[in-house]
Chains A and B, each alone.
Chain A
Amino acid sequence: MRPLTIKRLLWTCGGLGLLLLASVVLALKLGAVPVSVTDLVLDLGRIAIGRADELPTEYRLIVFDLRLPRILLGILVGAALSVAGASFQALLRNPLADPYVLGVSSGAALGSILALIIAPGFALVTPLGALLGAIATIAGVYFLGRREGQLDSTTLLLGGIILASFFSAIILFLMTTLTGRDLRGMAYWLMGDLSTPVSAGMQWIFIVGLVAGIGAIYSTSADLNLLLTGEREATHLGVNVTRVKLVVYVSASLLTALAVSASGAIGYVGLLVPHAVRLIFGSDYRLLIPASALCGAIAIVLADTLARTVVSPTELPVGAMTAMAGAPLFIYLLRRGLR
């Protein structure tokens, strides 16, 4: 493993940042109304100096009121899911851990649906319900996966899969029985979908939550490196294992909850992105966390661009896109890594 220097961290993140910028420009360019890149830069400049009125109304509505917020939401969701996946993989010392596989996404979805049924008028109800659902699920999975004081990776994953299908069944039951309520749109949302814009107030909650969550996980990244060798070993090396685990569990649940309440259960991003990053940049969590956040954002932005354009004018849910694109990519990376 190459030693991590500040220079390497900055170069990697800078490069990935540029790649993210390029994918945002590509995403802004493609869609119902085609835009040239030069126009896009000029128009962004106009908006930056507060002269958005000069742009044609439809064009402004489409590119800057519909497409741009959707791309920004995709960045937040992608970063949140990837960092959550990377953290669960470290905590559970299981390379297959991911918010979707572990049932945390389903738990968050169930939490937000239940919260919506109990208190429909309250604005913060979806993310709060999702957070409670996510925390309860990861606690459940953790206890299911514990055997004689040690985490058993097979039991853990099975526990996650069982909880996920249990929650899906409850969600299906709720959606079938509560015909009077408008839960029908939920079926679409559950597949993972970015087409629904988030209200302005919520956007700030997402941004603050994301920065706080990723920041908290990043602050423990050196400890996570040690934790990968085993809990006992990490304790001997001076890591406060209980504190680190608590911080990372809560933060990763928060990130999953935010992603789910914004866009439903988008699968595979949390599993694949950290893997890809690990294969390319190594498994040092001090680099893995920021690189996963950036790569996750790139992945979702590109996947959503495909979802918007591939069967245009109809849209696919982005969750279908990530699953379709994710599996072959995973096989490729796995085989490359084995060689």
Chain B
Amino acid sequence: MKGFLETGTWKFRHAKFCGMTTVLFLILCDGAIARQTNAARAGIPPSRELTDEVGRKIQIPRNINRVVSLAPNLTEIVFALGDGNHLAGDTDFCDYPPEAAQKPHVGGPVNPNLEEIVALKPELVLATKSINRRETVNALGRIGLPVYVTEDPHSIEGMIASVKHLGSVLGAETSAATLTEDLRGRLADLDHRLAGVAQRRVLFVVWTEPLISVGRDTFIADALRRAGGRSVVETKAEWPHVSMEEIVRLQPEVLVFASAHAVDTQRDIDALRTRPGWRNLEAIQRGNVVVVSDAINRPAPRMVDAIERLAHALHPDAFTARAAPPEDSGTGFSLWGLVLADAKSHRLKPVPLTSADSNPIVEEACACDR
């Protein structure tokens, strides 16, 4: 009886001991395995530290295979660098190139779904300083996702710098070098052709009601300068809300609209011909209106195409020796150049732009501006 009890106790103790050892062993193994995998995770893709364009330090893997872009212009840059296959996701507004629209979307740039971003398992998230919110960037940073933030480009050169930076971040230095060289070459050619021509006085219309134009430190103002134009709006604010009275006083020579849907825009422009204020603009009366691709609104390489086309529209004489750049239909790119809406027939027909010297009213307006 005693023996049985003792054996029972022994058995119990033994079982308890074995159990505890097993548990302890498992815990140790578990810890060891966990440490090992952590080390492997940290070790195998070697990471590097870099500073983004707004001065934040981030840690990214050396080979980046999954990128999420939070702005349409960054998506375009990634594709232009030939890195589109590494783009794991982008925003609802990323529509160029067409492949960008097929990528999984994470919502709008201002209010992306953070869960959706994390679910795409990106190794790097690209964001801009002004389109995206700082709160989004901070939230992603806090949960350990590296976010490369680009500075707002205030010039075409700034856009080209971003292309170069993103090229080195994504490991596409060679294509970035080729691309930037090409862009710079085309811009230099444009400068050469437009050397000596009189700048057109332009009103760039971002929005019609209320009238919003561009300030002097924006990339669009720089694009206008590169295309041989000059914005009549001279202000420090980036997207100024301009008074119509002021525009009627300044009488711009040409109105420039940016749109992906030229036909709709043309309809809107026709409607402006009867609108108070707008109908008092020489440019509207004469049909000196240029509709360029909305690529001009996005600081990405495609912007240079839009600049070339705008330059053609503003200064056709400077390009007479050379054929116009080919129309790349199907990408949403469209240029109506200088179109006059025939009010009676509602048909649009291209007309040459009234040159400044044959137009005394414009001359007067210039004097007034000075």
Contacts and interface: CB of A to CB of B under 8 A. Distances in A.
Residue picked from B92, B110, B135, most chain A C-beta under 10 Å: B135
A53 B115 contact: no
Interface in A191-220: 193, 195-197, 199
B370 interface: no
Contacts of A179: 236-238
Contact of B116 (A32, A65, A317): A32
A125 to B, nearest CB: 16
A31 B119 CA distance: 11
Interface string A160-188: 00000000000000000001001011001
A114 B127 CA distance: 27
Contact of B142 (A193, A197, A316): A197
Interface stretch (B43-51, B101-109, B165-173): B101-109
A220 B304 CA distance: 68
A245 interface: no
B113 interface: yes
Contacts of B236: 179
A338 interface: no
Given A58-B121, A66-B143, A184-B133, A195 B116 contact: no
Contacts of A315: 107, 111-113
Given A184-B133, A185-B135, A62 B113 contact: no
Interface string A309-323: 000111111000000
Contacts of B130: 184
Interface SS of A by simple majority: loop
Contact size class for B?
Answer: 20 to 34
Interface residues of A, number: 28
B143 A61 contact: yes
A33 interface: yes
B113 A196 contact: no
B134 interface: yes
Contacts of A61: 118, 143-144
A275 interface: no
Contact of A188 (B92, B133, B139): B133
B111 A188 contact: yes
A184 B89 CA distance: 25
B133 A313 contact: no
B34 interface: yes
Given A66-B143, A185-B134, A32 B121 contact: no
A314 B92 CA distance: 8
Interface of A: 31-33, 53, 58, 61-62, 65-67, 179, 182, 184-185, 188-189, 193, 195-197, 199, 308, 312-317
